[in-house]
Structure 1
Amino acid sequence: MKISQNTIFISGGSAGIGLAIAKKLSEAGNKIIINGRNKERLQNALKELPNAIAIQGDLSLKEDRIRIATELKTNFPQLNIVVNNAGAAALNDLSDSKNNAAEKAYQEINTNYISVIDFTALVLPQLLAQEDAAIVNVSSIAVYRGNKYLPTYSASKAALHSYTQGLRDTFAENEKLNVYEVYPPLVNTEFSAEIGGANGIPASEVADELFVALEKNQFEVPVGETKKIHALAEEISNAVNA
């Protein structure tokens, strides 16, 4: 699809991967709309983004999803790309009965999965009215295997992965709407600090890979070490379906 002169909404766009994507796409001549919960962080992010505006709100809340979708329809009718990047993660020790594991999992599932489905449904009519549109879901290397530190986060991203595949299949015959999935590995952001994010790749690498994928209409976007796992998964899938 075209990589300039788009109007792009990016959730979780005030920091980390979302901000890196916003910078990359802003530099390419796109109108950027970033979203986040914290007003101060949004304003600081805007200082790094020419031709961008911010819409504050928490997409994990139904009322905020409706309000933001309405604002996009009213004020930005040309919106044609939505990047679902906002996420939640918690260290979740399943061996500790006092850990509130289910409550942590609920927050992750709500933010990483349910809210994405609902918000996508809200903006979908607007995207379908465009000549060239895209939905970009940011999942994770964790879709391939959970671990003892982030078991329920991994499960929420696996659910997002499955939904994204279904969404892509649903619109496979619609040449005006493409559905992308980005699979970052560990990334050096504040979001991942608790799990050793300092050892991860820079967020700009994720943004660079997405930019190339948009240009090539490459709907699967593995990044860094995810590429090896993704390639193996594709090989197994092709063998099973042969």
Structure 2
Amino acid sequence: MKTAGNTIFITGGSAGIGLAIAKKLNAEGNKVIINGRSEERLQKALAELDGAIAIKGDWAVDTERARIAAELKNNFPELNIIINNAGAAFGYLLSEETNAVEKAQVEMNLNYFAIIHFNELMMPHLLQKEEAAIVNISSLAVYGSHKFLPTYCATKAALHSYTVALRDTYQDNKNLQVYEVYPPLTNTEFSSYIGGKNGIPPQEVADELLTGLKAAQFDIPVGETKIYAAAVNEAMAKIVAEARH
């Protein structure tokens, strides 16, 4: 995948991992379009991004996603990369929470349903491009749940399953690539309440994404996630080898 000369839309691009990715790809010579709900945060982020553009909107709302998709297709026809980064997470114990279903609905909507909807809205546009990509920002949580993030982890597992299916669906289309990035605990405001200060810097996620794009490495584990990914790949290789015998 080329890593310069693209037009890239990043959800949740005004802070954290999204902003780190925006900075990295902006510096590589791409036109970057960021999305967020806060005008103040968007303007602050734009001050750090040379020539970038912001589209304000609540990505969790289906009508807002439709408006954003229409604006992108009408005003930025050259758009060829979408990075689905926006997300929600609640830390709590199921034994102490009386509104777990409400929290799960918020997480599932933003982390899973919104991505499916937005990709569906943008797919006809992307398929017209000579080179296009969808990047879903997943998580180490794909590899197992945690009692303090009981419903968030399930949404990321769902996103992973969907991403694999999306990639397999378009595997014969040489113009569209589907990537998944798996960050571990990352030092952002988003993860501050679960000890994010002990996590990796968001710049590391951006660096790994750029490396993955250059190498057309569709699964991109980051930091600690590489240990889990290697173990799973080794186990799968053994299963395949045994099946052949």
TM-score, normalised with respect to structure 2:
0.97
SS in structure 2 at match of 1:168: helix
Partner of 1:241: 240
- Aligned partner letter, 2:217: Q
232-241 or 68-77, which moves further after superposition? 232-241
- Deviation of the 1:239 alpha carbon: 2.3
Q: Partner residue of 2:56? A: 56
Q: Give the deviation of 1:7 after TM superposition.
A: 0.2
User: Is 1:35 the counterpart of 2:35 in the alignment?
Assistant: yes
CA shift digits 1:114-150 (9 cap, x unpaired): 0000000001111111000000000000010111100
Q: Alignment partner of 2:174: what SS? A: coil
* 2:94 aligned with 1:119: no
CA offset digits 1:50-109 (Å, max 9, x no partner)? 0200000111101001000000000000100000000000013111252x0010000000
The 1:21/1:97 distance shift into structure 2, 3 A limit, reads closer
The answer on whether the counterparts of 1:140 and 1:157 sit within 8 Å (CA) in structure 2 is yes
Q: Show the counterpart of 2:156.
A: 157
Amino acid corresponding to residue 96 of structure 2 in structure 1: D
CA contact 1:17–1:207 (8 Å) conserved in 2: yes
Quick one: structure 1 residues 97 and 46, their matched pair in 2 at CA, closer, same or farther if it must change by over 3 Å?
closer
Which amino acid letter does the alignment assign opposite residue 64 of structure 2?
D
Residue 90 (structure 2) pairs with residue 90 (structure 1):
yes
Instruction: Give TM-score, length-normalised by structure 1.
Output: 0.98
Question: What residue number does 1:168 align with?
Answer: 167
- Structure 2: distance between partners of 1:167 and 1:97: 34
Aligned length: 241
- Runs of at least 4 residues off by over 4 Å: none
**Structure 2 unpaired stretches of 5+:** none
Q: Secondary structure at the match of 2:151?
A: helix
Q: 1:97 to 1:36 in 2, by over 3 A?
A: closer
1:201 maps to 2:173: no
- Give the match for residue 23 of structure 1: 23
Corresponding residue for 2:231? 232
- Aligned-pair identity in percent equals 61
Give the distance between the partners of 1:123 and 1:105, measured in 2 at CA. 26
- Who is 2:179 aligned against? 180
- Partner-residue secondary structure (3-state), 2:217: coil
Amino acid at match of 2:70: T
User: Secondary structure of 1:91's partner?
Assistant: coil
SS at match of 1:151: coil
